[in-house]
Structures are given as C-alpha cells and as structure tokens.
Amino acid sequence: MKSASDIIIRDATEQDLPAILDIYNEVILNTTSVYSEQPHTLQMRKTWFNERKAANFPVIVAEQNGTIIGFASYGYFRVWPCYRFTVEHSVYIHSGYRGRGVSKILLQAIIAHAKNAGLHALIAGIDRENDISLKLHQSFGFVQVAHFKEVGFKFNRWLDLIFMELLLE
C-alpha cells in the first residue's frame, strides 16, 4: 500500500466496483476518454474485474478519506502470444477530483507494477484532444508512436486516436 499526502493507492476489491462503475460511466457519458457511448452495468464491471484478476493484471484504486477518487488498470494490448510483454493501460479519475494530481499518482503506480511484472512496453490510447493526458504521459517518458485519424465517432464528430508508448527498461 502506498500513500501520497492523504491519497492511498491500493488493489481494488469487488466492493470498490460500484464506485469504479460510477467513475467509468461518467467518463463514457461526458468525455472522449472512452470511445463508447453506452454506460456499463455493474455486471459488466464485475466481468471486467474478474477477467483482469484471472489474467494477473492489476486493478488499483486511489482512495481519499474512504472515497474512491480514481482507478487504473492494464490489460492485453493484443491477445496473440508474441504480444505477451506489452500491455495497454487506462487511468480514470472522478470528475470532482481531476486536476489534483491523482492521475499522476495512479500512472506512476501502474508503471511500477508493469516493471515489477517483467513487462517490456506500456501503451496508452489517448484521444487527440486530451492535451492533459498527452502531456501527463510525455512527462513520464511516453512517446507518440501512432496517430489514427478519424477512427472514432462520438458526440457527433470524428475523433483521432493517439498511441503513446513507454519502454520499461
């Protein structure tokens, strides 16, 4: 268990899933951080959580004063065997806690976990308009490796997807 100021970073439990679901659904409904338009159900989050755990992938939460304020995870980048040392991560923050450094703390924890797991590359898929996330990843040494133009469509407009990569050597 790690803490920075009064934020605790810990492994998520099944009891955290309603809070994780609330954060994720707010992101789906109000941002382009997830290229999905339909909110998830608690059962969908349980399935996702159990699949991550079964594959030995982390699901971590940021907790402050007993409230889940963000979560992060990583999973398969591609499912074929030769991609086994490369994962794609995600970090989501409760809307009321954005801009307070929570994503930096969670990203740092995910990078450390990936290194300890013996992984080689960490991939981030980021909407081109999400300058905050792009700059955050750059600050950790991620570099842009791809720019997919108009591959998503949400909020009645085309979206560009940036892939950034960090080699964990």
The percent of residues in the chain predicted with pLDDT above 70, rounded, is 97
Residues 39-58 pLDDT 10s:
999 999 999 999 999 999 99
Using DSSP's 3-state secondary structure scheme, residue 13 falls into: coil
What average pLDDT does this structure show over 95-99?
94
Class assignment of domain 2-167? alpha beta
pTM (2 decimals)?
A: 0.94
Q: What are the structural domain ranges in the chain?
A: 2-167
